[in-house]
Amino acid sequence: MIERMESLLELVHVGFSAQNQEVIRDVSWTYAEGKTTALVGPSGGGKSTVLKLSAGLLVPSRGEVNFRGKNISQMNRRENLEFRGEGAVVFQDSALWANQTIHQILELPLRVHAPELSPDARLGRVREVLRQVGYRKDIGIRPAMLSMGEQKLVAFARALMCRPRLLFLDEWTESLDDRSAQRLVGLVRERKALGHTIIFVSHDLHIIRDLADQALVISGGELCMVLTEAQIKYDDNLSRFLEKEIAS
């Protein structure tokens, strides 16, 4: 008898409402471990909401989101801490704390998930990850002194601090120049090669073609199509459809 493998992350008939409006309708999907999934579709179609539901940042109004078979919204404190340590999010607006320095922002995940590290070890990790993403300014300043692109670099660095194996990326190259964007794409490509699981939202068809093993088309709050890697790259009709959805 073949043993059924437990899924990494699963959405089961998930719905979400906000301000008495239905935003997501009955979405079910299983994210396979080690795969890279692009969430695509028109602006306002619900893809960022699906990402946040998948990451456990929003609680479904209906259905459930399971991580390794456990409903995220029913996890106890220890289980939730383990989930947060294994996964990390890059927000579209960076979501950096305005009243903290870059050093403090990046050190916090290590204080929570790696309390055994010394202050020197934490500082070393902060500098190492900032070098990887290409941030070159002082770590003692606050986010208000940075450009939007620089804030995105710091947000990406924060996501990498605890070496997560599950990444949620929402428009993660937005506001970046081409060189910086390609640097972050390269870092994601490295993690993909290591077998990490990556779920991302992007309007950049080149990035989707480069990284995605599959694409979920989210429109009108529904999962309306699933595209394979081959379809994304080589099916001209579906590629044109995808490009139209992204541009709308």
Structural domain boundaries of the chain? 9-247
pTM of the predicted model as reported, rounded to 2 decimal places: 0.93
Question: Is the dihedral angle over the CA atoms 177, 183, 189, 192 positive or is it negative?
Answer: negative
As assigned by CATH, the class of the 9-247 domain is alpha beta
Q: CB neighbours (10 Å) of residue 248?
A: 11
How far apart, in whole angstroms, are the C-alpha atoms of residue 127 and residue 125?
Answer: 5
Q: CB neighbours (10 Å) of residue 170?
A: 23
Name residue, tokens 């599950």. Answer: 166
Residue among 15, 192, 200 nearest 89 (CA): 200
Q: List the chain pLDDT tens, one digit each, 248 residues.
A: 333 445 799 999 999 999 889 999 999 999 999 999 999 999 899 999 999 999 999 999 999 999 999 999 999 999 999 999 999 999 999 999 999 999 999 999 999 999 999 999 999 999 999 999 999 999 999 999 999 999 999 999 999 999 999 999 999 999 899 999 999 999 999 999 999 999 999 989 999 999 999 999 999 999 999 999 999 988 877 777 777 777 77
